[in-house]
Amino acid sequence: MAVPGIGRASQAPDLNYNSEHFKYNQENDTYTCPQKNTLKSNGSTYKGRNYRFKQYKTNKCRTCTVRASCTTSKINGKVIQRSEFQQYIEENAKRVLQNPQTYKKRQAIVEHPYGTIKRQWGFSYISTKKTMQRASADVGFMFIAYNLKRIWNILKTKKQTLFRAINICMLSVLDFLGVLALYSSLYQKKQIAM
């Protein structure tokens, strides 16, 4: 998973004072700024759009000589938000940096279908389904539609032989029938709440 960098509004005036340059101490649950001041949390957890986070700040910002380089806030000074998922985000960023070729390969192979399905076709979420089984059936149909469209485009451009084209389409139809059979069996077993 790609982790975007800090948005422009959250960046410090001097990039050397962005939050990634603050050291997190897991034992004390504190941050240390480049000027060696300690930012502490009040222990409260706040709710973001789809995650929870803690805020870390210090009173030392008021008298800090590099405040103008670190923050534009006139009242609070520097405030760092730490997501409940921050540890995993940092671990992922390290893995990506250690092996960028694997990530580029993954981007080329996996990201394209999801991008097409989400952005071009508008399937960014499924709001009408109440169970995973019902939603997964819809997702299965989306993937089948993507695969059929992809096969058609490949066949169109490469001018494959008729026999090969029929073979590929038959395999796709069999995949489609397999998903239908799965959906039907789940329905018959009443595992899908209607």
Unique residue bearing structure tokens 């096969």 = 151
pLDDT of residue 193: 46
Strands 52-57, 38-41: parallel, antiparallel or unpaired by DSSP?
antiparallel
pLDDT of residue 160: 61
Among candidate residues 72, 93, 114, the one where a domain is terminated: 93
Q: Which residues of the chain have pLDDT under 50?
A: 1-4, 191-194
In-domain check, residue 119: no
Strands 52-57, 46-47: parallel, antiparallel or unpaired by DSSP?
antiparallel
For residue 142, give Cα distances in angstroms to 116, 126, 138. Answer: 11, 11, 6
DSSP at 47: E
pLDDT of residue 159: 62
In-domain check, residue 176: yes
pLDDT of residue 191: 46
In-domain check, residue 110: no
In-domain check, residue 194: no
pLDDT of residue 45: 93
pLDDT of residue 22: 94
The phi-psi region of residue 167 (left if phi > 0; otherwise alpha if psi is between -120 and 50; otherwise beta) is alpha
Residue 132 and residue 58 share a domain: no
- ∠ CA 171-175-178, rounded to 5°: 135
For residue 151, give Cα distances in angstroms to 86, 113, 158, 170. Answer: 40, 13, 11, 11
Instruction: State which residues form the domain around 148.
Output: 126-188
pLDDT of residue 74: 82
In-domain check, residue 98: no
Residue 67 and residue 139 share a domain: no
Residue 86 and residue 134 share a domain: no
pLDDT of residue 194: 40
Please list, in sequence order, all residues whose beta carbon lies within 8 angstroms of the beta carbon of residue 29, skipping any fewer than 6 positions away: 40, 41, 54
CA distance 186 to 16: 55
Residue 132 and residue 89 share a domain: no
**Structural domain count, the chain:** 2
Single out the residue of 117, 127, 14, 109 nearest to residue 71, CA to CA: 14
Neighbours of 169 (CB within 10 A): 14
In-domain check, residue 82: yes
In-domain check, residue 120: no
In-domain check, residue 25: yes
Neighbours of 22 (CB within 10 A): 19
